[in-house]
Chain A
Amino acid sequence: MTIYSEEQAKAILDKAIKLSKADECSATLTGSSGGNVRYALNNVSTSGYVSDADLAIEVAFGKRVGTATINAFDDKSIEAVVRRAEELAKLAPENPEFVPAIDKQTYKSSSTFLEKTAAITPEYRAQVAADCIEPCRKDKLVAAGFFSDAQNFSAIANSKGNFGYQKSSGMDFTCTVRTEDGKGSGWVARNLADVAKFDAKADIKTAIQKAKGSVDAKALEPGKYTVIMEPAATAGLISFMMFGFDARRADEGRSFLSKKGGGNKVGEKLFDERVTIYADPWDENAAVLPWDNDGLAREKTPIVTKGKVDYLHYSRYWAQKQGKKAVGQPGNLIMLGGDKSTMDLVKSTKKGILVTRTWYIRMVDPQTVLLTGLTRDGTFYVENGEIKYPIKNFRFNESPAIMLNNIEEIGKPVRVGDDESPFVMMIPPMKIRDFTFSSLSDAV
């Protein structure tokens, strides 16, 4: 087990900083222990447990910086890693964009740790697999899924007297259910801080229902459609869009938030006025550490308010150059919504398409954040408030910057994890008009 207490972590960090002869020294100690179970074809394929801790030392002599890491914490190892960082710094070229270590920060702790989630056992994981596999076997369906959980700690300190320590925990679950003949496929995902809220037996029913309900899908013509997007279907698009929210990229003229003639579009209304997105490390459903990768304290940060862009991320170098204050980079994205469920949005739809999830999303043109990707594991035609029949999957070519201007209705946000996103997200289901499907896919 590599989870150290605050006292143990502080002792290691203090020792390292004291040993350093550099102009300044920052140290980060992180550790995690976690397990997973993977299953496919209704059989457990792999299960594992990984436990590791890591001490990273960054030192600076003037504008020369060196970094080294180690996973042993006896006195000799700590001294060795500090000396190695110092040697690397002396060999490094001067970094003209060097910024001194952060000043002492004030961190207000967030609720990122739950004992019950941290205490998940191999037996619990095996039971999750069994809870998915058994009903599928009985129903002549085929389950493939992955459940992973971890507890972590993060401790930071520097030679200017800054210090922070916090523990966190979480779990993530995905399961794909397919019919034996391969004609139907359904999916369910659950990303939670609190394992007590997780019920594999209940969740698997969603995937089973979608697998059975998607058999013999009909083909619709590609084109612009009103879509009801489940939260997982837009999370990837919104997360991708955030790469354009970097102040330097925008100021350099290479973001969709760059302004013609120079500068950026902060303060401009670019989205439907029902779009409000913010970051809040203390959010009760999506809490994250109260500091970012640089150790800067995170704040509750409005990103888009009623359609207006409020925020761009300033690195400490770019903030200094542009005369701005650098604040902690968001670790979560919380989009406001209403009270309606996805099915409520279906009920209010005359004609439309219900999308379970989107997949293989890639940037086509960063100028307009044009993204391409496909629907997957449950796409249905909706008419007069009812799901009428399954339809074949589509490829989309759409920009979230356009999508978030075509909102018809917003539902209740739910917590979403995404393999390719650095954020914990709260995303609502949304009904969107004129969503662009450009071709059909035969994939099930």
Chain B
Amino acid sequence: MDRRDFLKITGVSLGGLAIPTFYGRAIAAEELLSTIDVGAKKKLADVALNAAKADGASYCDVRIGRYLRQFVVTREDKVQNVVNTESTGIGIRVIAKGSWGFAATSDLSADAVAKAAAQAVAIAKANARLRTEPVQLAPVKGVGEVSWKTPIVKNAMAVPIKDKVDLLLGVNSEAMKAGASFVNSTLFLVNEQKYFASTDGSYIDQDVHRIWAPMQVTAVDQKSGKFRTRSGLSSPRGMGFEYLDAKAGDKVELPGGAIVYRDSYDMKADAIAAAKQAKEKLTAPSVKPGKYDLMLDPSHTWLTIHESVGHPLELDRVLGYEANYAGTSFATLDKLKDKFKYGSDKVTIFADKIQPGSLGAVGYDDEGVKTQKWDLIKDGTLVNYQVIRDQAHILGLKESQGCCYADSWSSVQFQRMANVSLAPGKDKLSPADMIKGIENGIYIVGDGSFSIDQQRYNAQFGGQLFYEIKNGKVTQQIEDVAYQIRTPEFWNSCVAVCDESDYRLGGSFFDGKGQPGQVSAVSHGSSTARFNGVNVINTARSLG
């Protein structure tokens, strides 16, 4: 996500705690439960489709969106902010004279929608003058009137604000009791009510839910002037409020004693652990730089997958469409032809938009394509990319993989990352088994600082918890660890991946891309994985 927008919401920026206007108008909590009638949406969609066709569009799609968000922001014993926002409107995309055109309006009267459709056609015709090749759209068969809903158990929007505030303040109180100096905790809830219609004959109504409960627990030692923060080990999910049910069976104790979570999160227990571990960080020994075998927990690996596999295999980046902002990709099309060895034979990485509970899961993407799962890297070899309808022909594909997304009715949909995940190892292997074989290593849990170059070669990652491994055992918590990689060497150094029983999801709630910038949410699953001989640096500095 755009860091500036994130800081606006959480109020950790230098600026005041303004409502982020890019999320639309603020509303009362009760309004978060209402929906727009499907019949009315179909009628409106037909107005746009007919108007576009009448004006000469060869294709048109319509997205009527109601985007609801709720944020509850707290620190220690205080609620800093409760914000409910709604943004409703219609975005109309057309192809006319071989070019794309787009227009959007928040006015949902038939007249305004017809005008917006005409405007989209006019823009397409104007753009056609500058275009060298006409848009080639991979075919999609119309699906008629269908619907899809995130399979939630509890609608988070229906949970009273008071319960959410009580939960977060309770979490903060536990952290403070366990010795934290400061604690920030937040709830982010999203509900996208999206209606898609196109001239292909699809009318798709979708109700998408997401939840994220991040937290930062800080320990300060005033005497030494040192401070350390341990962030929560939850992951954002495509789930309802049941993610915070803290089911006992979803707790996983790792070698070394850290607790991580599967499909539900015990925020209070994690707050207590975080306070204890943040204090331990204050006195933990500093890492000796050098080559180590790394054992990476899924709560950490998701971000490495995201940056070093997810982004470089987005076809628009490979082709150069993002050259001015996010950058291009080292994984060029000739590497696909040459069967580039992206990783070791232990590395199979797949993309999907269907994993239950994942952030990317939807029934259909934002251009009406039914979602699916496909391999990007098979047994170490690059085999595919992520594409949308107007890119499929470039790879010789007959259909889109369904990677199209817009973060608002008013944004143009474009290629966004699907869930990209490391497939579990085929042989039975637990983290406890894996650690036994490591002589000199570091076990990293949780995601930390991250940075990667514009072609996705050189990356540096931190983490939340670092454990020294000596002769098959965790010896102690250490600090100041970051590792640097060159992407292909790193994935080729993968010597083992734990089995399916260890598979867990991490993810990003606010992944930024494009100009003007858009955000999307995406999950990355993995089992604990081992990488040999990775370069670890020491990040401690002295300001004199």
Give the B-binding residues of A (Cβ under 8 A).
30, 36, 38, 40-41, 43-48, 50, 54, 56, 67-71, 84, 87-88, 91-93, 95-97, 126, 142, 144-146, 148, 174-176, 178, 182, 242-243, 245-246, 252-254, 256, 258-262, 270, 292-294, 313, 315, 329-330, 359-368, 370, 372-374, 376, 393, 395, 397, 399, 401-402, 405, 419-422, 438-444
Contact = CB atoms under 8 A, between A and B. Distances in A.
Given A142-B323, A368-B543, A373 B451 contact: yes
Contact of A43 (B82, B131, B222): B131
A370 B452 CA distance: 16
Given A41-B320, A146-B515, A399-B541, A374 B28 contact: no
B78 A97 contact: yes
A362 B461 CA distance: 10
Given A144-B321, A444-B455, A252 B225 contact: no
B34 interface: no
Contacts of A443: 327, 330, 453-458
Interface in B16-35: 16, 18-19, 21, 25-29
Interface in B524-544: 535, 537, 539-544
Given A441-B458, A443-B453, A365 B480 contact: yes
Given A41-B321, A44-B130, A254-B182, A364 B455 contact: no
B102 A46 contact: yes
B539 A365 contact: yes
Given A365-B541, A402-B541, A68 B26 contact: yes
A22 B330 CA distance: 59
A253 B220 contact: yes
A30 B454 CA distance: 35
A144 B181 contact: no
B450 A362 contact: yes
Given A68-B26, A252-B181, A176 B324 contact: yes
B328 A182 contact: yes
A401 B226 CA distance: 17
A93 B480 CA distance: 40
A318 B181 CA distance: 17
B21 A54 contact: yes
Nearest to B75: A97
Contacts of A256: 543
A260 B321 CA distance: 49
Contacts of B544: 405
A393 B540 CA distance: 24
A359 B453 contact: yes
Interface in B462-508: 462, 480, 482, 484, 486
B39 interface: no
B458 A361 contact: no
Contacts of A126: 130
Interface of B: 2-4, 7, 12-16, 18-19, 21, 25-29, 77-80, 82-83, 100, 102, 106, 123, 127, 130-132, 161, 165, 181-182, 218, 220, 222-229, 319-325, 327-328, 330, 332, 410, 412, 449-458, 460, 462, 480, 482, 484, 486, 515-517, 535, 537, 539-544
19 contacts: A43-B130, A44-B131, A67-B19, A91-B29, A91-B161, A92-B82, A93-B165, A142-B320, A146-B324, A182-B328, A243-B14, A246-B14, A260-B224, A362-B451, A397-B539, A438-B484, A438-B537, A441-B458, A442-B457
Contacts of B410: 50
Contacts of B542: 368
Given A44-B130, A67-B83, A259 B323 contact: no
Given A359-B453, A360-B452, A422-B4, A253 B460 contact: no
A40 B451 contact: no
A40 B182 contact: no
B80 to A, nearest CB: 8
B3 A420 contact: yes
Contact of A84 (B28, B321, B452, B482): B28
Contact of B15 (A182, A245, A293, A363): A293
Given A363-B449, A397-B482, 18 more contacts: A36-B516, A43-B132, A46-B102, A50-B410, A69-B19, A146-B325, A178-B323, A243-B14, A246-B14, A253-B181, A254-B182, A254-B220, A258-B225, A362-B449, A402-B541, A419-B517, A422-B7, A422-B15
A417 to B, nearest CB: 12
A442 B455 contact: yes
A44 B181 CA distance: 52
A397 B540 CA distance: 11
B130 A95 contact: no
Given A365-B541, A376-B454, A443-B454, A41 B319 contact: yes
Q: Most B CB atoms within 10 A — which of A40, A44, A92, A95?
A: A40
Contacts of B80: 95, 97
Contacts of B324: 40, 144-146, 174-176
A38 B516 CA distance: 9
A261 B323 CA distance: 48
A177 to B, nearest CB: 9
Nearest to A44: B130
B26 A260 contact: no
A399 B543 contact: yes
Given A67-B19, A96-B77, A329-B15, A372 B451 contact: yes
Contacts of B541: 365, 368, 370, 399, 402
A56 B19 contact: yes
A84 to B, nearest CB: 6
A260 B225 contact: yes
A176 B454 CA distance: 12
Contacts of A95: 78-80
Contacts of B181: 252-254
Given A67-B26, A69-B26, A148-B516, A293 B16 contact: yes
Closest 5 CB pairs of A and B: A293-B16, A260-B225, A441-B458, A443-B455, A144-B323
Contacts of A439: 458, 460, 484, 535
A50 B218 CA distance: 41
A292 B543 contact: no
Contacts of A93: 79, 165
Nearest to A439: B484
Contacts of B322: 40, 144
Contacts of B106: 71
B504 to A, nearest CB: 24
A144 B515 CA distance: 11
Contacts of A359: 453-454
A395 B451 contact: yes
B330 A40 contact: no
A50 B350 CA distance: 37
A442 B330 contact: yes
A376 B323 CA distance: 12
B3 A261 contact: no
A176 B323 contact: yes
Contacts of A142: 320, 323
Nearest to B320: A41
Contacts of A254: 181-182, 218, 220, 227, 229
B321 A45 contact: yes
A293 B17 CA distance: 8
